[in-house]
Chains A and B, each alone.
Chain A
Amino acid sequence: MESITPTHYLVLSLILFSIGFFGVLLRRNLLLVLMSLELMLNGINLALVNFSRTALNLDGSIFVFFIMTVAAAEVAVGLALLVALYKKRKSVFTDDMNLIAN
């Protein structure tokens, strides 16, 4: 029976990252863009933990800890900016954020 190898984890983390990247590029709702950003960070976290476990070196896991901290701060600020933007433009769609184009 074939067992799960680190490569499988790596492929899964890459797929997670790609789905998040896809979401950031294609979605027009800024909330969903932020959520996709989180998914990208999760893919990176999974790859880091995988490498950390494979090399039996804790540095990667500590990096994941810091990435989680930064991601939480980023989400808080991003959502506050989104609410401020919504108050001003009455929209959360990227199509409506075209002030600089006019």
Chain B
Amino acid sequence: MVCSKHPVSAAMFMIISLVGVAALFVLLEAFFLAVLQILVYAGAVMVLFLFIIMLLDVGPDAGKASKMKLVSGLAAAFSISLLIVIFLIIVQDSGWLPEGASWRAVPESSKLTQGGNFVFSTAVKNFGYGLMTKYMLPLQISGFLLLAAMVGVIVLSKKDEKEVG
């Protein structure tokens, strides 16, 4: 995706990778999040991206290649491999993942909490319970954030009438 020259093909690859991530969510038994991923990302966000690409009519950015491309590419590859190694060492040492790291079955019971923690479940009910109890304030704030984003976009994309008239 980051290598394709044309923004439209990059967006198409992006959609493929987003749907792939949604499929991985299904494999992790987070069905609600998979549906949200398809609806929000592959549905809304990428349509917005494609719409803006068509609106601005940006072509491929060939001929504007950066002079630092080889050096920065090598540096990026090196730093990314270093990052992966360090991260894996930290994770292996921290014991966040159980030894041998096999999958425990998702509890079938309709218990919502256990020992003060929300129980992972395939049901949307547990999500709702979590959002409405512990995460009530973040939920309200994110709703307000969406409102602020909506107002901000309207203000930004409004025609400046003083300049025009």
**Cα-based distance from A18 to B86 in the complex (angstroms):** 13
Q: Are A35 and B10 in contact (CB under 8 A)?
A: yes
Q: How many residues of chain B get a CB closer than 8 Å to chain A's CBs?
A: 74
Whether a CB of chain A sits under 8 angstroms from the CB of B117 is yes
Task: Determine the residue in chain A with the shortest Cβ distance to B34.
Answer: A49
Q: Are B2 and A23 in contact (CB under 8 A)?
A: yes
Task: Determine the residue in chain B with the shortest Cβ distance to A15.
Answer: B84
Q: Taking the nearest CB of chain A, how far is it from the CB of B149, in angstroms? A: 4
Q: Are B120 and A56 in contact (CB under 8 A)?
A: yes
Q: Are B156 and A81 in contact (CB under 8 A)?
A: yes
Task: Determine the residue in chain A with the shortest Cβ distance to B60.
Answer: A29
Whether a CB of chain A sits under 8 angstroms from the CB of B110 is no
Q: Are A95 and B64 in contact (CB under 8 A)?
A: yes
**Cα-based distance from A3 to B103 in the complex (angstroms):** 10
Q: Are B102 and A5 in contact (CB under 8 A)?
A: yes
Contact with A along B30-55 (1 / 0, CB 8 A): 10110011001100110011001101
A4 partner residues in chain B, CB cutoff 8 A: 27
Q: Among the listed B30, B36, B152, which residue makes an inter-chain contact with A77, where contact means beta carbons less than 8 Å apart?
A: B152
Q: Among the listed A32, A79, A86, which residue makes an inter-chain contact with B2, where contact means beta carbons less than 8 Å apart?
A: A32
Q: Are B80 and A22 in contact (CB under 8 A)?
A: yes
**Cα-based distance from A11 to B97 in the complex (angstroms):** 13
Question: Taking A18-B80, A23-B2, A31-B58 as contacts, is the C-beta distance between A62 and B127 under 8 angstroms?
Answer: yes
Contact with B along A43-77 (1 / 0, CB 8 A): 00110011111111111011011101111111111
14 A-B residue pairings within 8 Å (CB atoms): A7-B97, A14-B87, A26-B69, A36-B1, A39-B1, A49-B30, A62-B131, A66-B135, A69-B146, A71-B45, A73-B149, A76-B48, A80-B153, A93-B64
Which residues on A are within 8 Å of B, measured CB to CB? 3-7, 9-12, 14-16, 18-23, 25-29, 31-32, 34-36, 38-39, 42, 45-46, 49-59, 61-62, 64-66, 68-77, 79-84, 86, 92-93, 95
Closest 7 CB pairs of A and B: A23-B2, A58-B118, A73-B149, A80-B156, A80-B153, A18-B80, A5-B101
